[in-house]
Structure 1
C-alpha cells in the first residue's frame, strides 16, 4: 500500500511540474492612448495580442494596459531596462529621457511626407539606430510607428508666421530638443508631462502646445485650444519597445511570432494615424477649431529659424555624425520616390 501511495504521489508531483513548465509567459504591454478601438495604439495592441496568442498556441499571454496604467513613459522605459515590463509603445519625447539619441528624429521640417519617413525608419538607418539602442540600453526597438505630424495649437490667436509665436507660453514634451525648437521661434517653452497637459491648458498654465491630430482628439485638447496651424513641423514617432531580457527568454517560435505580429500592429497603427493626419483640416474644423494651413513660403520661414537652431543643439547632444546620417538617409529616400 505504501508503495502504491508513493508511486501515485510521485506521478502527481511530475504532473504538477509539467503543468508549471507549460505555464504561459506573461507579456505585459502598455501604451498611452485610451483603451478604445478607435485609438491607433489600442487597435494595434489588440491585433498584436490576438496574433501572438494564436501564433504561439497560447504559450505567450499578452496583457494590455492602456492609458498609462503602468506609469509614465520614464517608468515604462526603466521597467523595460530592468525586465519588470515586457513591451511598451512609447512616444519620442519619453524615449529620449532614457535614450537621448532618439531626439534626432525631432529635427524640424525633416520629412516631406509619410512615405519618406517610412523608407528611412524601415531602412538601414532605422535598423542601425535600433541596434545601437539595444547595445546601450538593453531595450529592443521592434518597430517605428506614427505619433502624428505635429502642429501648433493655442488659445490666443492664429499662428501664421514665426512672429505670431512671440511671447506664447507653449507646452513641450520633457525633452530639451523641443525646448530648443520653441525658443528658436520666440515662444516660451514649458516642459509638462502628457498626462498633465489637458489640465495645464484648461487652467491657462500654458497658452498652447504642439501635437498630432490623433493626440489632440484623444485628449480633447480642442476644448481649450481655439487655434491650430497645420505646419507639420515634426514627424513624431511611437516606438514598439521590448525588454531584451524577456525577448532572449523566448523560444525561436515565440520570437518569430513577436516579430511578425509587431509588423501587423505597426501597420494598423500607422494606417490609422496617417488617415487622421491627412484629414486634419476637416477633423479639427468639425470640433470647432480655427484651422490655418500655411503656404510653402510660410513654412519655409519657420524652417529657416527652427532647423539650424535645433540642428546645432542636436549635433552637440547626440553627435554631428548621427544628424548627418539622418539627413543623408532622408535625402536618399525622398530622391527615390
Structure 2
C-alpha cells in the first residue's frame, strides 16, 4: 500500500490534473542545446516569460542549457515519449525523425533571414509542423533564427573549395550536410553537438560550421581562429513540445503555448538583426579572422545545388516540394 500511495503522489506531482475544471500548477522542462547567451537561449527565455505571463504564473518553465538533458537528437525521442516536455534544437537534428523538414537544410535554398521567416511562419511551416507531429510525435511551436552557418577552423583562411583539402570538419549527424561537404570534395566528421568543443580543443577535428551567434556563445574563439562567410544553410532552431504532452493540456494552456511560441519567434527574428553585427565585431576583437569566399561563393553553390539537391528529392517528399518552396520565395 505504501508503494501505491507513493506512486500516486509522484504522478500527481508530475502531471496536470483538474479539480473543479481548474489545472494545478505545472512546471515544464525545456532542454536548450546551446549555452546561455545563445540565440536558442534568447528565444527560450522569451518563450518562458510569455508563457508564464499568459498562464498568470500558474504554469512555470525551467530552462536547461548546454545539453544538460541530453543531445539534441536524444531530446526529440524524450519529448516524443513524454519524459521531456520541450526542447530547443537545430532543425537538422529533427530531420532524421521527420525527413521532409530537410527541405529547409538543402544548401542555398534559404538566402536571407527574411526568406527563412517567410517559410517557417507561412504555409510551408504549417505543413512541416504537421509532418513532424505525424513522423516524430513532436510539435514545432516556435522558431529560433540563428543566421547562416559560417565555417570556422584552426588551421588557415579558407577562400576556395580547394582550400578545404586536408581539413577535418565536424558536421552534425545529418545526411544533407554531410553530402554538402562531400560535394565540395572532403569527407566531414559527423559528431554530436555535445562533443564538438572538446573535439576542436583536442584537435580531433580542425573546424566546424555554425552561425556567428553560436560561435560566440559557445566560445569557439578559444579554439578556432578563422571564419569563412559561407552561406549554405540558414540555421533554424525550433522549439518543440511532445505531442502527447501538448494534447493532454487544457485548451487555455495549449493556446498559451502556441501564442508564446509565436511571440518568441518574432522576438528571435528581431534579436538576430540587432545582435549579429555586434557579435562579428566581438569575435574579431578576440582574434578571429573573417574571410569571404572567392568569386561570390559561385563554385560552392554550383557544386552543392547540382549534386546535393537531387539526392534528397525523395526524402523531402519529392522534387515538387522543393519547387513549391522556391516558388514561395519567388524563384
Q: Provide the rounded CA distance (Å) in 2 between the counterparts of 1:193 and 1:216.
A: 16
Alpha-carbon shift at residue 272 of structure 1 (Å): 2.4
Q: Provide the rounded CA distance (Å) in 1 between the counterparts of 2:325 and 2:102.
A: 16
Give per-residue Cα distances to partners, 1:23-82, cap 9 Å, x unaligned. 2133211112223xx333223323222322222223322222222111111221111111
Alpha-carbon shift at residue 276 of structure 1 (Å): 3.8
Runs of 4+ residues deviating >4 angstroms? 17-22, 278-281
Corresponding residue number in structure 1 for 2:321: 325
Does the 8 Å CA contact 1:40/1:268 hold for their aligned counterparts? no
Q: Does 1:299 align with 2:300?
A: no
Corresponding residue number in structure 2 for 1:43: 42
- Larger helix fraction of residues: 1
Secondary structure of 1:188's counterpart equals coil
Alpha-carbon shift at residue 20 of structure 1 (Å): 12
Secondary structure of 2:110's counterpart equals coil
Deviates more, 1:80-89 or 1:43-52: 43-52
Deviates more, 1:145-154 or 1:52-61: 52-61
Q: Does 1:83 align with 2:121?
A: no
Does the 8 Å CA contact 1:125/1:325 hold for their aligned counterparts? no
Secondary structure of 2:231's counterpart equals strand
- Structure 2 residue ranges without an equivalent (≥5): 1-17
Secondary structure of 1:231's counterpart equals coil
Give per-residue Cα distances to partners, 1:215-251, cap 9 Å, x unaligned. 1111111222221111211111101111111111222
Q: Provide the rounded CA distance (Å) in 1 between the counterparts of 2:136 and 2:235.
A: 21
Larger radius of gyration: 1
Deviates more, 1:126-135 or 1:20-29: 20-29
Query: What is the RMSD computed on CA atoms of the aligned residues?
Result: 2.2
Alpha-carbon shift at residue 280 of structure 1 (Å): 5.8
Deviates more, 1:189-198 or 1:309-318: 309-318
Secondary structure of 2:230's counterpart equals strand
- Structure 1 residue ranges without an equivalent (≥5): 1-16
Q: Does 1:24 align with 2:25?
A: yes
Normalising by structure 2, what TM-score?
0.87
